[in-house]
Structure 1
Amino acid sequence: MTFNTYAIFAYASENEKNNQEETQSRIPDLKAGKWEPIYSMGKNLFPSVVISTITLKNGGDWDTESNHLGENWGTIGIAVCSPKDNCSINVEISSDTFIKPTTFIGTLPKKGITYFIFPDLKYEYEKLLMVSQKIPEDLTFKVSIDRKADMDKTDHIQVRSINECVYYFVDYDGNSVDTPWFFAAYVNENHPYIHRILADALKAQRVSSFSGTLGNIESQLEEINAIWETLKKKGIRYSNITTTDDDENPELATQYVRLIGQSINYSQANCVDGSVLLASILRKIGFNVSLITVPGHMYIGLIFGTNEDSFICIETTMIGNYTLEEAIEEGTNDFTENESKFLSDSDEYYEYNIINIMDARAMGIISIKDSLSHQL
């Protein structure tokens, strides 16, 4: 099968557009000189979003208007109605634990226009990486308009687990946004445990070395199989744990994703966990790998072959009880049956995504550090 490179994308599905019609904008109706806090993902702070977008090279589809000021991927900010042309504005946001005091200084160009200001917040990244369950946090907003300080405001939000991946949300203006490429942040080709997995495969003499795509087709498949059998030997089994707090929330969709260390420690992985684990290892040894999403499911795809002109998919939920050959047959058959849906621009097939990790890294999506990896 010839592989085509598919763009990483974010767009609203038909169902989400229908939801959008039922969802009112959360932008406050402000009088001149007034302001209120606003949030792109509800009153939530997602560590996975903060960390994975640190080096993101482009903004979201929802923030291209000229009245959006500050950080393109900001999710916490204020809405303010300018009382005059060229009005000075000073915004400071901080929190008790996770956000250092951060200031935005700028100008509101036109009187009577509502602007959305998202300071480039200074986060406590190491603390965010350690959040394993939902906890409350207080935000403080300090705003000066036309050099006149307004009364401070405090708001209460939820800081979510590092394991919660946001793949869809409705922003403050009621826009539906698909973000399946956030899953790429959980692929961690530099995780220290990968070296141990590769070493164990070599020790078991499943292969003599790892050369990735530098070898011929036969050697490439042997290397993939060596990794597959090593993970099987470690007792990795399929576990269907997917429930999150947002399952009934029409404005936010998240998926619980284990970090590599968690999958190894607990010897279990759901379809997403297994996919990011195997994708991480294969990317480490040089394969061009992608996460493949279909409705309610994920597996991986990778380019291989002497000229990197072939494409196979692997059904990662089969890792505990089946051979690699069987997993390749299952994954590749599913992809082949649905290939036209991956290529389609129709909103009907919005759940059919190919999230290429190389493209995600070029886009600026970075891996989430496993803060507990030293315990492995």
Structure 2
Amino acid sequence: MKLKSNVLLAVLRGKIVWAVLILVLVLCLGAYIIYRYEPFASRIEISNELGGNIFPVTILSTATTDANIVVPADSTYLGNPKSCIAIKVRNRTANSKLQIEVEETPFFARSVSEFILPESGKDYLVFPDIVWNYQALLDNIQPMPVTVSVKATLNKRELGGSVHTFSVRSINECLLGYIDSRMKFHDTGQFFAAYVNEDNPKIDQILREALDSRIVNRFWGYQSKDSKVVDKQVYAIWYVLQKRRFRYSSISNSSLSSNVVFTQRVRTFDDALESAQINCVDGSVLFASLLKAININPILVRIPGHMFVGYYTDRSHTNIHFLETSMIGDVNLDDFFPEEKLDSTIVGLSQEKISQITFEKSKEYATRMYNENEKLIHSGKVNYMFLEIDKVTRAYIQPIGK
């Protein structure tokens, strides 16, 4: 009986061992299937470096350049970060084929993008191609919500979909800087250059009015090699803007509420011209647009809370003058005598004379500000900027075209 009991016990133990082995095998197989395929869970997540905001100015100004100004903190991303929208996905096997489908919205068309994920067991940040509707971005003058829907497959297996609502900001919102996922601040004040629009067709009208004033008989940039001639061309533009009754109007804040991105509202060339209103930034980019159009090289100078414009008075860029454009609206030229109504019996200042006085005062004020902050302006510190609108700048930031 004892022998029989031992045999039965051994058989029972053997069955238990086999049952345990089978159970372990099933659990391992199940774990592998879940790890490898995850059939019941979505494995994609929509991501955006700018806290769920899309800025038309960043897209339009870099669309035709090689510049990547807003980039992820992780440099191992795939695709073009200028698309603004990315997905996060975990790759299970080497050299997997990822396909991303982005549905149409009012701001971009439907698109399908494909990528190869080379490393297994790695989390990837992937930027699919976005077929932007550039005109819709340009016409967007106030923040608009847009729902982005994305589907993806990995090695022809569906990963599910993801939906996220972004805020498409106004074309007038200039991105000043952002904090990345590693809490590092990036200064993007160079986007101010996008609002300098030397190609605007309305510039010809301004220049025609300046020529009609007879302050200059032509705009020839640096061809004369005389700094006084350059200054006279600049003054002719100043005079026309004063004749157009431009006034200082400080509108710089937007509805953006974020601790990740920082912006300032900037009027485009058309906005400033139609409203005849400018603040220091609006006036600087407007004036820089006109200077650039007549081949005088402008500079945007930024200090905390303020901006003014500079310009080289010679082709070799050895001498700079500065202007405080907000002083354009300090006087109303209608309060003074037009040139054609002056005669020898009238004692008073002409419109052109008072305009010349404010022009010189503007130069004095801006030059003093530059001299007081010169070292910091060229230091590269946050909120300080010396941005020349030249071929180098235009190689990575183009005018937004409005």
TM value normalised by structure 2: 0.79
Is residue 213–residue 308 contact of structure 1 (8 Å, CA) maintained in 2?
A: no
The Cα shift of 1:79 comes to 1.0
Q: Which moved more, 1:146-155 or 1:125-134?
A: 146-155
- For the pair 1:219 / 2:229, whether they are aligned, the reply is yes
Q: 2:397 aligns with which of 356, 365, 369?
A: 365
Deviations 1:191-236 (CA, angstroms, capped at 9, x unpaired): 1111000000111212111111222111111110000010000011
Deviations 1:64-112 (CA, angstroms, capped at 9, x unpaired): 8552100043321101111121111111223421111122211111122
- For the pair 1:73 / 2:108, whether they are aligned, the reply is no
Q: 1:230 aligns with which of 231, 234, 240?
A: 240
Q: 2:180 aligns with which of 171, 176, 179?
A: 171
The Cα shift of 1:140 comes to 1.2
The Cα shift of 1:333 comes to 1.2
Deviations 1:295-325 (CA, angstroms, capped at 9, x unpaired): 0111111111364310111111111226111
> Structure 1 residues 176 and 95, CA, compared in 2 at 3 Å: closer, same or farther?
farther
Identity %: 32
CA distance in 2, matches of 1:342, 1:230: 30
The residue identity in structure 2 corresponding to 1:57 is D
The Cα shift of 1:150 comes to 2.3
Structure 2: unaligned runs, 5 residues or longer = 1-34, 332-357
Q: 2:157 aligns with which of 148, 167, 182?
A: 148
Is residue 95–residue 138 contact of structure 1 (8 Å, CA) maintained in 2?
A: no
SS at match of 1:212: coil
CA distance in 2, matches of 1:333, 1:325: 12
CA distance in 2, matches of 1:61, 1:257: 19
Is residue 67–residue 114 contact of structure 1 (8 Å, CA) maintained in 2?
A: no
CA distance in 2, matches of 1:61, 1:99: 19
- Structure 1 counterpart of 2:203: 194
CA distance in 2, matches of 1:140, 1:199: 50
- For the pair 1:263 / 2:272, whether they are aligned, the reply is yes
CA distance in 2, matches of 1:272, 1:176: 22
- Structure 1 counterpart of 2:144: 135
- For the pair 1:277 / 2:286, whether they are aligned, the reply is yes
Q: 2:362 aligns with which of 327, 333, 344?
A: 327
Q: How many residues align?
A: 336
Residues 91-130 of structure 1: pairs in structure 2 closer than 5 A: 91-130=100-139
Is residue 42–residue 172 contact of structure 1 (8 Å, CA) maintained in 2?
A: no
> Structure 1 residues 65 and 134, CA, compared in 2 at 3 Å: closer, same or farther?
closer
The Cα shift of 1:55 comes to 2.2
The residue identity in structure 2 corresponding to 1:329 is E
CA RMSD, Structure 1 to Structure 2 (Å): 1.9
Q: 1:340 aligns with which of 357, 375, 379?
A: 375
Is residue 300–residue 314 contact of structure 1 (8 Å, CA) maintained in 2?
A: yes
SS at match of 2:216: coil
CA distance in 2, matches of 1:59, 1:45: 15
Q: Which moved more, 1:315-324 or 1:165-174?
A: 165-174
SS at match of 1:196: helix
Q: 1:87 aligns with which of 89, 96, 104?
A: 96
The Cα shift of 1:362 comes to 3.8
Q: Which runs of 4+ in 1 moved over 6 A?
A: none
Deviations 1:333-362 (CA, angstroms, capped at 9, x unpaired): 1111111112325xxx32111111115544
- Structure 2 counterpart of 1:318: 327
The Cα shift of 1:256 comes to 0.7
- For the pair 1:241 / 2:276, whether they are aligned, the reply is no
- Structure 2 counterpart of 1:23: none
Name the one with the larger helix percent: 2
Is residue 62–residue 175 contact of structure 1 (8 Å, CA) maintained in 2?
A: no
The residue identity in structure 2 corresponding to 1:366 is Q
The residue identity in structure 2 corresponding to 1:270 is N
> Structure 1 residues 61 and 164, CA, compared in 2 at 3 Å: closer, same or farther?
closer
Is residue 73–residue 181 contact of structure 2 (8 Å, CA) maintained in 1?
A: no
CA distance in 1, matches of 2:249, 2:191: 22
Is residue 88–residue 108 contact of structure 1 (8 Å, CA) maintained in 2?
A: yes
- For the pair 1:353 / 2:385, whether they are aligned, the reply is yes
> Structure 1 residues 196 and 109, CA, compared in 2 at 3 Å: closer, same or farther?
same
Structure 1: unaligned runs, 5 residues or longer = 1-30, 371-376
The Cα shift of 1:175 comes to 3.8
Deviations 1:102-136 (CA, angstroms, capped at 9, x unpaired): 22211111122111111231100111111111112
CA distance in 2, matches of 1:111, 1:165: 40
Which structure would you say has the larger RCO, counting Cα contacts within 8 Å and 6 or more residues apart?
1
Q: Which moved more, 1:356-365 or 1:180-189?
A: 356-365
